[in-house]
Amino acid sequence: MAKKSVWSDNRFWQRSAAWITGFASILLIWLTFDTIPQITMGTDADLKQGVTKRVPGPTVINYKITYEMNAKRMHEIPVIGGMNAEGTSAFEEKELFFGRDDWSEEEASELLHLGKLGSQAKNCMDCHTLLGNGAYYAPDLTKAWLDPAWGPEGSMQAITGKSTKEEAMAEFLQHPSNYPTHARMMPNLGITEKEAHGLVAFLKHMSSIDTNGFPRNFGKIQGAVHGK
C-alpha cells in the first residue's frame, strides 16, 4: 500500500481549484476597473480641449475623422479634426454632418442614442460585424464611415443621387433594396428617416473609436494587388 501523497488528495486539488479560480476572477475584476474608465465615452469638453479618448464623445460627429498609420503605436489610429505634428488628433478641422457642424452635446447624444438603439432593434449584428463581432453575411461596419465607396470618389453617392456621404448612407438605409450593389442585398427593415440619421451618427461615432488598428489598412489599398 502506497502512502498518502498530497498530489492524490482530493481536498488539495479542490482547494487549488478554488484558489486559482478566485485569483483569476479577482484579476479580471481588477482589470475591469482599469478598462472601463478607459473606454467610457468622452465629452464635448474633451474634444474642445484636445483630450484624446479611446471612445470620444458624441459631438465627434462635428469633426472630420480619418484613419492614419501611427509610427509610435505601429498601427492605424482614428485621427479626429486633422493630424497634429505627433501624428495624432488635432481636434481642429470640422466637417458638416447633415448640413451642420455645431451639433450640441445634447443633440449629438440624442442622435447617437437613437442610432445605437436602432442598431439593436434592426438586428444589424446578425448580418454585419460591429467592431468585428457579429455575423459575416455583410461587410464589417467598424470603419464603414471611412469607406471610400461612400466618399466623393465612390459609387454610392451617385447611385443614391445624394451629394454627401451622410445623406447617401441615410438614403440607402431607408430603401436598401432600391440600390442593390450585389446579388446579396440588404432587406428593407422599416428604418425611418430619423432612425437613419441616428444610425449614420452611430456609424460615424464608431469610426472614431480607437480599435488598436483593426481593421488593418482600411481603405488604403485600392485594387487587389498586394504591395509586393
Total H helices, total E strands in the chain:
6, 4
* Candidate ranges 44-52, 94-102, 146-154, 162-170; the one touching another protein (CB under 8 A): 146-154
Q: Which residues contact 144 (CB under 8 A, 6 or more apart)?
A: 150, 203, 206, 207
CA distance 42 to 193: 27
Residue type, 41: M
CB of 79 to another protein, least distance (A): 16
Query: Which of residues 82 and 148 has its CB atom nearest to another protein in the complex?
Result: 148
**Cα atoms found within 13 Å of the Cα of residue 65, Cβ hemisphere only:** 28
CA distance 63 to 95: 5
Residue 5, interface with another protein (CB under 8 A)? yes
* Per-residue interface string for the shown chain with another protein, residues 68-87, x marking contact by CB under 8 A: -x-xxxxx------------
CB of 142 to another protein, least distance (A): 8
CB of 96 to another protein, least distance (A): 23
Residue 178, interface with another protein (CB under 8 A)? no
Residue 140, interface with another protein (CB under 8 A)? yes
Residue 30, interface with another protein (CB under 8 A)? no
Selected binder of another protein within 45, 92, 102, 133 (CB under 8 A): 133
Are the CB atoms for 205 and 61 separated by under 8 Å?
yes
Residue 118, interface with another protein (CB under 8 A)? yes
Kindly state the cell numbers that stand for 26. Answer: 479577482
Residue 16, interface with another protein (CB under 8 A)? yes
Selected binder of another protein within 148, 159, 164, 179 (CB under 8 A): 148
First-to-last CA distance in the chain?
A: 69
Beta bridge partners of 80: 65
CB of 68 to another protein, least distance (A): 11
